[in-house]
Amino acid sequence: MIGRVLAALVIVVVAAVLLVAVWPQLLNLEQVFLVAQVVSLRGAATVAALLAIVLIGLVAIAARRARRFLGSILVLLLAFVGLSAAVLSTRGFGNTEFAEKGEWDVTVLSWNTLGGAADAADVAALAVEVEADVVALPETTEPMGLDVAAAMAAAGVPMQVYTTAYDEIAAARSTTLLIREAYGEYVVNEEEGNTAVLPTVIAEPADGNGPTIMAVHPVAPIPVEMDNWRSDLEWLGGRCDTGNVIMAGDFNATLDHMADYGGARTGDGQITSLGNCIDGAAATGNAAVGTWPAAIPPLLGTPIDHILATDGWRFTGFRVVTDRDDAGSDHRPIVAQLHPLR
C-alpha cells in the first residue's frame, strides 16, 4: 500500500515538473529561477527526455514488477516530447531564405563577440558579406568597434560607431553599434534609462527621420541577477511600446521568457514578442535554432540572440550563421532583413 502511494506521488511530481518545463507560462513561472534555465533549453530537454524513454523502456523490460509504474512515467515523457516537438516545430527549425533586398530594406547583423574573442576582421568580413546596414555588437569595446568600421570602410561600406560602456575594465560591460553612414547622423539617447548591469546603446536619428536603433544586452538570469534580468526585459519591452524601433543583440532570453510582454496581434496580422516588437526569428521560422553556446549543435542550443522591430517593418529574411562557430565567440551571429511597411 505504501509503495503504491509513493509511486503515485512520484508520478504526480514528475507530471508537474514536465508540465512546468513544457508550458511554464500556464503558471507564470517562465521567469522563475531554475524554470527559466530549463525552458531555455527546449531542444536539449527534448533529446534528454528521448534518452530517458529508451533507458526506462529497457528497465521496464527487465523489471516486471515495476512495469506499471515505469509505464506511467514513459507516457508522461512521451507526452512531454510530443508537446515540446510541437512547440519547437511551430517556432521553426530554420528557414534561411531571403527575399531580394529592396532599395529601402535594412539588413541587421548581431554578434556577441565575447569581449572581442571574435576579432574585428572576422566581424567586418561577415558584415560586408551579408551587406549589413546595422551591426549590433554586445561585449564589444569602442576600439574594437572602430576597427570593425575601418575594415568595413576599406571594403567600401562606411559606418558610424556608437558605444555605451559602464567601465573600461571588462569588455562585457561595453556594447557597440554600427550604423551605415548613408542613413545620416545618429545620436545616442542617454535620457531613457538603460539595462541595469550590461549596457544597451540607444541611437536616434538626429533629424528625427528614421528608426531608433538599439544594440541591447540584458544581464543573464544567474541567481544573483534575476531581478535585474526581469527588469531589463521589462524595460526593453517599454522601448518597443511606441515609435519606430529596431533592436538587436544578446537578450539572454528566449521567446518563453518574453511571453508576458508580447503575444498581441498587430493591425497587419503580425504577432508581437516583446512589447510591440516582432521577433525576426519567430516571424520567419527560425526561432527554434539555438544561438548559444556555439559549441553544440544549433537545435540543442538556446535562441537568446534576437533581432526585433516594431510593426512598421516586416522581416523578409533571417538566419542563424552556423559557419563561424570557430571564430572565438560562444555566440552565433544572426542576420535579418527588414522591409519598411510605411
- Does residue 28 lie in a domain region? yes
Q: Report the alpha-carbon distance of residue 192 to residue 203 in Å, rounded.
A: 11
The predicted pLDDT at position 93 comes to 96
Query: Do residue 322 and residue 295 come from a single domain?
Result: yes
Query: Do residue 244 and residue 273 come from a single domain?
Result: yes
Q: Report the alpha-carbon distance of residue 10 to residue 16 in Å, rounded.
A: 10
Residue ending a domain, among 65, 91, 117, is: 91
Q: Report the alpha-carbon distance of residue 122 to residue 126 in Å, rounded.
A: 6
Query: Do residue 215 and residue 321 come from a single domain?
Result: yes
pLDDT tens for each residue of the chain, 342 residues long: 666 778 789 899 999 999 999 999 999 999 999 999 999 999 999 999 999 999 999 998 888 788 888 889 999 999 999 999 999 999 999 999 999 999 999 999 999 999 999 999 999 999 999 999 999 999 999 999 999 999 999 999 999 999 999 998 899 999 999 999 999 999 999 998 999 999 999 999 999 999 999 999 999 999 999 999 999 999 999 999 878 999 999 999 999 999 988 878 887 778 889 999 999 999 999 999 999 999 999 999 999 999 999 999 999 999 999 999 999 999 999 999 999 997
Query: Do residue 155 and residue 258 come from a single domain?
Result: yes
Query: Do residue 218 and residue 268 come from a single domain?
Result: yes
Closest CA to 188 of 176, 207, 178, 201: 201
- The residue range of the domain holding 180 is 106-340
- Does residue 101 lie in a domain region? no
Q: Report the alpha-carbon distance of residue 214 to residue 234 in Å, rounded.
A: 15
- Taking a C-beta distance cutoff of 8 angstroms, is the pair 24, 256 a contact? yes
How many domains does the chain divide into? 2
Q: What is the pLDDT of residues 8-62, one digit of tens each?
A: 898 999 999 999 999 999 999 999 999 999 999 999 999 999 999 999 999 988 8
Query: Do residue 86 and residue 111 come from a single domain?
Result: no
